Structure 1
Amino acid sequence: MVTVADCERVQTNWFRIRATELGGRVWTDGGLLWTDGPDGVNLMFPRALTTAAVRRGVDRARGRGIVGAWLGTDVDPAPLAEAGFERGWSPWWMTADLADVPQTRDPRVRLEQDSLDYRGEHASYRDQLALSLLQPPIAWYAAAHTPESGRFAGRAWSFRDRDLAGVFDMEVWPGFQRRGLGSGLLATVCAAARQAGAKHAVLNATPEGKLLYSARGFRQIGEGITWWHRGEGA
């Protein structure tokens, strides 16, 4: 049975590998695990907190902008508030047996290992596609494009952590939604992870995303809490 702790482990390892493989940092201090990767600095699912340790992490992240903290609902967040964090959104943890997730191929969606879709202020995102080149394969990137004009319409990742596949960063851009692209992206990254040996998928959903995932075989098993510190440069 997949648990919330499994969901937290997969997300922690995804943040960890993105940091270590893409030139960032990972460190522990006072029992707290911090990652500094493409999304900035994040505190990953501590079991207990002290204000002093949290403040040391914020000091180390100075100049990196917003600092995130991901918690289970059973962790006392008071030290985060004392260190200047504000409560954010609640991730809804969901899971599905990959055998139950529809995996019909969508010709508008394909797996990619490089892309010219990211330009201008988004150009640095292209660097993240290097994760899809790791051997043996553990991460897969899919992009959606409109058949009429080939316009970039959305993306998604999956990441295999033992027998679980985390689905991350899935989004269809406004103007291309409600065309089935989200289902196509989900099917593509789940199929890739399943072919590599994953048995179940896990993800965190927003209320809007939950509607899609529930219709594709996912069920909610719990929720978490996020907290955010708006530091210098935020």
Structure 2
Amino acid sequence: MDERAEHRQIVSLSEQTQTEWFRLRAQRLGGEVWEDGPLLWIDGPDGLNLMFPESLPEAELRRGIEYARDKKHQLVSAWVSGETDATPLALAGFERGWAPWWMSAPLDAIDPPHDERVHVGVLPEDIADEEARDGDGRLLELANLELGHAFYAAVRVDGVLAGHAWSLVEGDVAGIFDLDVWPPYRRRGLGAALLHSIAGAAREAGARTAALSTSPQGAIVYRAQGFTRVGMGATWWLQLD
């Protein structure tokens, strides 16, 4: 397989992993998931998302928008592959959002975790309580309910929660999501520590490749950790008044 074909395959697997991440959160946290023709809609913690459609028929797209209006959503998001014709989204009133950079790295090339400030797995009570106060408490159920499949990592500084990350393992691919360090604690190497720890957990679960989407600015950070860009996607947003 040449490099271009290999990159396309990784992007496709990355899209599938992200779709499963959105689906899992919605199913575990009381959301809704349904298919309407070629469209897969996921109504979860992030609101209503249309996930990587191959085509965008007008009637099915309109039904999804009407669902969002009925649910009083303020925003509908569409994640689109680079090869998909997004013209129907524009005609339906969507505006172009940010362009995700898909990046990947072989997990055996990412150094094993070594930072004692990072905790991976079932959460100590104090971390769970602090995340719950910040509004993410329900998501933490996934780390307990999906053992060996969904992983959560938290980093603490002087006993205070300073950032977190998630990973979902689907076959050989581990998607990395929502990696974030709170602003007061940035530029201390905590993001790299989270990445190495969550990647280590995914590797132990049998994954061979790590994949994520990021902005061009974030790509600089991930490139320093051994990730390479394998493709680009697109997001489209519809604001509902």
**TM-score, length-scaled by structure 2:** 0.90
**For residues 71-110 of structure 1, what are the alpha-carbon distances to aligned partners after superposition, in whole Å with 9 as ceiling and x for unaligned?**
0111111111121211000000011100001223211111
Question: In the alignment, what sits opposite 2:23?
Answer: 16
Question: In the alignment, what sits opposite 1:179?
Answer: 188
Shift of 1:119: 5.0
Shift of 1:170: 0.5
User: Does the 8 Å contact 2:132/2:138 carry over to 1?
Assistant: no
Aligned counterpart for 1:168 among listed residues 149, 170, 177: 177
What is the root-mean-square deviation in Å for CA atoms of aligned residues?
1.4
Shift of 1:131: 0.8
SS state at 2:48 partner? strand
> How many residues of Structure 1 are paired with residues of Structure 2 in the alignment?
228
Q: Does 1:205 align with 2:214?
A: yes
Q: Aligned partners of 2:109, 2:73: CA distance in 1, in Å?
A: 40
Question: In the alignment, what sits opposite 1:140?
Answer: 151
Structure 1 residue ranges without an equivalent (≥5): none
Question: In the alignment, what sits opposite 1:34?
Answer: 41
Q: Aligned partners of 2:179, 2:234: CA distance in 1, in Å?
A: 20
SS state at 1:3 partner? helix
Q: Does 1:129 align with 2:137?
A: no
Shift of 1:39: 0.8
**For residues 170-200 of structure 1, what are the alpha-carbon distances to aligned partners after superposition, in whole Å with 9 as ceiling and x for unaligned?**
0111121110000000011111111011111
SS state at 1:113 partner? coil
Q: Aligned partners of 2:218, 2:13: CA distance in 1, in Å?
A: 20
Aligned runs of 1:1-234 on 2, under 5 Å? 1=6, 2-62=9-69, 63-114=72-123, 115-118=128-131, 122-123=134-135, 125-147=136-158, 150-232=159-241
Q: Aligned partners of 2:29, 2:122: CA distance in 1, in Å?
A: 15
**For residues 140-163 of structure 1, what are the alpha-carbon distances to aligned partners after superposition, in whole Å with 9 as ceiling and x for unaligned?**
11111113xx22211100100011
SS state at 1:184 partner? helix
**TM-score, length-scaled by structure 1:** 0.93
Structure 2 residue ranges without an equivalent (≥5): 1-5
Give the AA of the match of 2:131. Y
Give the AA of the match of 1:116. D
* Between structures 1 and 2, the one with greater helix share: 2
